[in-house]
């Protein structure tokens, strides 16, 4: 059944119908023939968010680059579209062929954010499939998932048939070919999952259970691996990277060409999940980047290209790269943007070169208000770094500075909050001073202070640490709001309930799945959207499943077996514990980029190496 | 060098907005590697001007845009290169160079032909009779809804130049005034008929096609790049 065709005449009834039509430039519409394995990637949020996600695009184009694999896309329909589908008794469909999801062999979810998990259940439901793996039948697609938050798969374990742990570029095709092979042999789903679990990085949760009184998830039978190793791409230059990106009609969140210049970050901030789980750092070479950029711009027609990574400015060749890009593309009216700036002069100088004309705002993330707390979290930034950076930014014509901080970090005291206020005000003063003494015309100085709440994440040194209570979070936010008033200052904060629940899911176990299911059944979806988030549904779901919020966000004993202990990201728990202890004695750990191995063991354990292009050692 | 281009916006992209269409064309021009002119200044962007916006949901079969090129490229080649670079639901039909100082599309296009599929059973309804009755009226008054302003009474009659009905389908062709000197909205035509004739149901805008955009010279409807139009 072609659902897309059936619903097309009715799309005028809803908002943003262009989310549901596909037909974009570079979208791939393969013929449905018997020799192909049919896969559909599902992103558990709306089109404009999903289409801004690099990981999904890489997998889409990678799978379609294989003749025997067909890959299409689907996204969470907004509530008006969900109603329209339901009113017309139509299931969710893919944007390319318009077929219903159940027609596919494999349905793959992109995991990107804990608070989008209810949307995963909703997509399964809208596809007319059972929520739980065990209730689905042989004809239903195999449901797989992977992505940024997959390193703790347990909160989704009952819903997903198979997880892929780590970077999928190299093994995903092998996985699908093996599926094809097993399907030909008429294996049942159960037999198939058992076989697929043998592939590196593949985790079939139904093959693991908690035995006896131990908390460790262990294989249900002999002959099943007991640890699942994260998969990593060894060499980014050799890794697959798409060039014929889909060009959406809709003005999506990141509406530009995207070039991933490196993967991983060596800084070792102790709160940062991505910084730990994407280790080791690997860079693409300047030559490779230039040739990719050429092809991408040619095939997409974008007028802007963004260099992205967890820490773009850390690329060892970043100056040469930006210079070459400017030389090459400025005359074609193609602009360049950098995704993340370090708090220093160097970054501002670089931004200055890149943004010759349109100087809107610059963002810096000191994360904490005192040197003491920055040492605790291992954020290697000093107050002087920040003031130098903003001085040079204001002097170069920027008038708006955005500062990122976190509250609720371990060991935080009033002094640390005072520090946030002091730094923000100092930045404002520096700006005002420069504005008063310059001959150039400068808009009014604006300092935006954006404060998020610390959330302990698996595989970070802070995975054992508690979150503050809701009352404490509100108290801290109130203090900052009261003290960050006045002309030129703007304060923004995160919903405390949303942060707490993200914390619950991030460190959740298989029991957390029950909470997610209950919340979804009671109407939770699009939780990360302000107008949809209903914390009370979640708090009720926690109660209904006989849990207490305080327990779920509390301290975890260092000796307890963690729900994600069967997943190996390469980083040893020993290293995380050492980092945990160092944080409380306010000791910093160096960046491993400078030829100083910090013994996290990733390189050794996964058989890959830190790959710094400009490194001659 | 200004080139005026006729294109269709087909069913597969009928839900994209005017702005989204402009972005799509801009990117296609880049992909086609045409030597397009960019605006000067801080934030250079491609010089591109479209005609009157087409409502979201409608197909357009004779739409227009103007583009400026830095060097002359054969008109037929412009058509081929753009078609190779556009999603298949946007098709370039024809391109013609026009004098640099020609009036903008929005300024000269004054007539549009809309076809509306009223979706009734041709065997059960005598549509020609309805049309006869409609044409005999001296006035076709409607209430125009206006954004942030009060509703206004408006007579459509003088702005409707011609109505024809398809022989085999319940499709009506309306030739109407469009643009700043008097604009008839297809939704108003639908409403006007629905209010007056019980058998004509209110149909959504997806049943409407803008068949073409013209410049009216006496009784003649000319395309906006016709020599009689661009010369004057």
Higher pLDDT among residues A344 and B164, named by residue: B164
Tell me if A59 is assigned to some domain: yes
Which CATH number is A397's domain given? Answer: 3.20.20.70
CB of A441 less than 8 A from some CB of B: no
Question: Which residues, in sequence order, are bridge partners of residue A574?
Answer: none
A231 beta partners:
A166
Q: How many CA atoms lie within 13 A of A502 on its CB side?
A: 21
A148 and A277 both lie in a single domain: no
The upper half-sphere exposure of residue A35, i.e. CA atoms within 13 Å in the direction of its Cβ, equals: 5
Q: What is the DSSP letter of A562?
A: P
In terms of C-beta density within 10 A (0-12 exposed, 13-18 middle, 19 or more buried), how is residue A193 classed? buried
* Neighboring chain B residues of A299 at a CB cutoff of 8 Å: 31
Task: Judge if A466 and A422 occupy the same domain.
Answer: yes
Report yes or no: B97 and B72 within 8 Å, Cβ to Cβ: yes
Helix (H/G/I), strand (E/B), else coil: A589: coil
For residue B139, the tally of other CB atoms under 10 A from its CB is: 8
Write the residue in A12, A301, A333 that is nearest to B205 by C-beta: A12
Between the alpha carbon of residue B188 and those of residues A48, B113, B144, the distances in Å are: 33, 14, 8
Residue A544 in domain = no
Per CB-CB distance under 8 Å, the chain B contacts of A249 are 13, 16, 20-21, 23-24
Last residue of a domain, one of A475, A496, A517: A496
What mean pLDDT comes out for the span A485-513?
A: 96
Q: Which of B20, B28, B56 sits opposite A301 (nearest CB)?
A: B28
Which phi and psi (to 5°) does residue B48 adopt?
Answer: -150, 130
How many domains is chain A partitioned into structurally?
A: 3
A541 exposure class (CB count in 10 Å sphere: 0-12, 13-18, 19+): buried
Q: Are B184 and B80 in contact (CB under 8 A)?
A: no
Q: Are residues A158 and A254 in the same domain?
A: no
pLDDT in tens, A238-259: 999 999 999 999 988 888 999 9
Q: Does A536 touch chain B (CB under 8 A)?
A: no
Closest by Cα among A348, B16, A596 to A588: A596
Residues A91 and A131 reside in one and the same domain: yes
A292: in domain: yes
Q: Are residues A447 and A424 part of one domain?
A: yes
Chain-chain contact of B87 with A11 (C-beta, under 8 angstroms): no
Statement to judge: residues A223 and A309 lie in one domain:
no
Closest CA to A248 of A81, A120, A60: A60
The whole-angstrom distance between B26's CA and the closest CA on chain A is 8
Tens digit of pLDDT for each residue in A446-495?
Answer: 999 999 999 999 999 999 999 999 999 999 999 999 999 999 999 999 99
Among candidate residues A471, A268, A463, A461, the one with its CA nearest the CA of residue A379: A268
**CATH number of domain containing A115:** 3.40.50.280
Asked if residue A250 and residue A213 are part of one domain, the reply reads no
Interface test with A, best of B13, B21, B23, B44 (most A CBs within 10 A): B23
The CATH number of whichever domain residue A322 belongs to comes to 3.30.750
Region A170-191: mean pLDDT is 95
Tell me whether residue A191 is in a domain: yes
Q: Do B17 and A23 touch (CB under 8 A)?
A: no
Q: Which of A354-368, A409-423, B83-97, B154-168 has the lowest mean pLDDT?
A: A354-368
Which CA distances in Å does B68 have to A301, B73, B100?
A: 17, 11, 9
Over the stretch A85-143, which tens digit does the pLDDT of each residue have?
999 999 999 999 999 999 999 999 999 999 999 999 999 999 999 999 999 999 999 99
Taking the model in full, what pTM does it have?
A: 0.95
Cβ separation A303–B57 shorter than 8 A:
no
Which candidate from B44, B89, B206 shows the least CB-CB separation from A12?
Answer: B206
pLDDT computed for residue A617 by the predictor: 40
My answer on whether A296 and A397 are in the same domain is no
Shortest CA gap A531–chain B (Å): 25
Same domain membership, residue A318 and residue A365 = no
Here the tokens at position A381 are: 């930034």
Q: In chain A, which residues have their Cβ closer than 8 Å to the Cβ of B87?
A: 23-25
Residue A611's pLDDT band (boundaries 50, 70, 90)?
Answer: confident
CB contact under 8 Å between A18 and B87, yes or no, is no
DSSP β-bridge partners for residue B215: B222
Q: Which CB contacts under 8 angstroms, 24+ apart, belong to B50-53? A: B50/B18, B50/B21, B50/B22, B50/B25, B50/B105, B51/B105, B51/B106, B51/B109, B51/B213, B51/B224, B52/B105, B52/B106, B52/B109, B52/B112, B52/B178, B52/B179, B52/B213, B53/B18
Which residue segment(s) compose the domain that A221 sits in? 3-229
pLDDT higher than threshold 60 for residue A616: no
Based on the fold, state whether residues A218 and A250 are members of the same structural domain: no
Give the confidence band of B232 by pLDDT, cuts at 50, 70, 90.
low
């Amino acid at each position: 059944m072609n659902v897309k065709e059936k619903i097309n005449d009715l799309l005028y009834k809803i908002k943003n119908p262009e989310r549901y039509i596909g037909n974009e430039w570079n979208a791939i519409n393969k013929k449905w023939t018997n020799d192909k394995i049919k896969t559909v990637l599902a992103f558990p949020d709306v089109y404009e968010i999903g289409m801004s996600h690099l990981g999904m695009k890489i997998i889409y184009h990678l799978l379609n680059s294989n003749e025997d694999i067909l890959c299409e896309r689907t996204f969470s329909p907004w509530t008006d579209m969900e109603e329209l589908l339901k009113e017309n008794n139509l299931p969710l469909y893919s944007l390319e062929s318009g077929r219903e999801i159940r027609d596919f062999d494999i349905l793959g979810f992109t995991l990107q954010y804990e608070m989008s998990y209810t949307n995963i259940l909703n997509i399964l439901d809208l596809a007319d499939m059972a929520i739980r793996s065990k209730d689905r039948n042989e004809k239903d697609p195999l449901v797989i998932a992977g992505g940024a938050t997959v390193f703790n798969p347990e909160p989704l374990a009952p819903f997903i048939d198979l997880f892929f742990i780590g970077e999928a570029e190299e093994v995903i095709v092998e996985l699908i070919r093996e599926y094809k092979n097993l399907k030909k042999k008429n294996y049942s789903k159960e037999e198939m999952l058992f076989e697929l679990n043998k592939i590196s990085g593949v985790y079939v949760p139904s093959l693991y259970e908690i035995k006896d009184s131990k908390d460790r998830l262990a294989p249900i039978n002999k002959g099943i691996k007991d640890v699942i190793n994260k998969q990593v791409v060894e060499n980014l230059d050799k890794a697959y990277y798409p060039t014929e990106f889909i060009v959406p009609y809709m003005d999506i969140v990141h509406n530009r060409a995207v070039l991933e210049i490196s993967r991983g970050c060596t800084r070792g901030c102790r709160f940062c999940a991505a910084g730990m789980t994407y280790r080791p750092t690997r860079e693409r070479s300047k030559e490779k980047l230039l040739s990719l950029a050429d092809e991408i711009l040619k095939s997409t027609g974008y007028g802007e290209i963004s260099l992205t990574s967890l820490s773009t400015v850390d690329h060892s060749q970043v100056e040469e790269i930006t210079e070459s890009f400017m030389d090459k593309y400025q005359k074609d009216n193609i602009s360049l943007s950098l995704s993340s700036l370090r708090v220093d002069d160097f970054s501002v100088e670089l931004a200055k070169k890149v943004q010759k004309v349109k100087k809107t705002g610059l963002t810096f993330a000191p994360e904490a208000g005192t040197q003491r707390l920055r040492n605790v979290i291992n954020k290697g930034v000093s107050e002087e770094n920040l003031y130098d950076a903003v001085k040079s930014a204001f002097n170069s014509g920027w008038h708006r500075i955005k500062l990122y901080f976190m509250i609720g970090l371990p060991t935080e005291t009033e002094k640390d909050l005072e520090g946030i206020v002091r730094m923000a005000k100092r930045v404002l003063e520096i700006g005002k001073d420069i504005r008063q003494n310059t001959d150039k015309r400068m808009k009014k100085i604006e300092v935006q202070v954006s404060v998020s709440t610390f959330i302990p994440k698996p595989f970070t040194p802070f995975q054992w640490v508690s979150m503050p209570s809701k009352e404490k979070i509100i108290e801290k936010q109130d203090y900052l709001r009261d003290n960050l008033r006045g002309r030129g200052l703007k304060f923004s904060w995160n919903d405390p309930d949303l942060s707490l629940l993200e914390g619950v899911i991030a460190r959740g176990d298989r029991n957390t799945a029950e909470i997610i299911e209950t919340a979804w059944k009671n109407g939770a979806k699009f939780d990360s959207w302000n107008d949809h988030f209903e914390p009370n549904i979640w708090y009720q779901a926690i109660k209904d499943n006989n849990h207490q919020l305080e327990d779920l966000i509390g301290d975890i004993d260092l000796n307890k077996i963690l729900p994600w202990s069967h997943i190996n990201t390469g980083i040893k728990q020993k290293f995380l514990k050492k980092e945990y202890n160092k944080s409380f004695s306010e000791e910093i750990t160096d960046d491993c980029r400078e030829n100083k191995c910090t013994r996290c063991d990733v390189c050794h354990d996964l058989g890959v190496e830190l790959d710094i292009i400009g490194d001659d050692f | 060098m200004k080139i005026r281009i006729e294109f269709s916006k087909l069913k597969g992209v009928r839900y994209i907005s005017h702005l989204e269409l402009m972005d799509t064309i801009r990117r296609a021009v880049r992909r086609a590697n045409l030597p397009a002119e960019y605006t000067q200044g801080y934030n250079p962007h491609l010089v591109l001007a479209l005609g009157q916006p087409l409502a979201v949901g409608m197909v357009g079969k004779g739409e227009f845009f103007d583009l400026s090129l830095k060097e002359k490229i054969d008109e037929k080649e412009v058509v081929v290169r753009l078609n190779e670079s556009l999603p298949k639901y946007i098709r370039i039909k024809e391109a013609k160079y026009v004098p640099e100082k020609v009036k903008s599309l929005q300024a000269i296009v004054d007539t549009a032909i809309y076809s509306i599929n009223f979706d009734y059973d041709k065997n059960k309804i005598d549509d020609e009779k309805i049309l006869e009755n409609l044409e005999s009226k001296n006035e076709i008054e409607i209430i125009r809804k206006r954004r942030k302003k009060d509703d206004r009474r408006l007579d459509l009659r003088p702005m409707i130049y011609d109505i024809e009905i398809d022989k085999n389908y319940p499709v009506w062709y309306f030739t109407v005034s469009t643009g700043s000197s008097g604009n008839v909205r297809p939704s108003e035509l639908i409403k006007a008929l629905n209010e007056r004739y019980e058998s004509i149901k209110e149909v959504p805008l997806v049943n409407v096609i803008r068949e073409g955009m013209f410049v009216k010279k006496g009784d003649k409807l000319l395309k906006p790049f016709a020599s009689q139009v661009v010369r004057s």
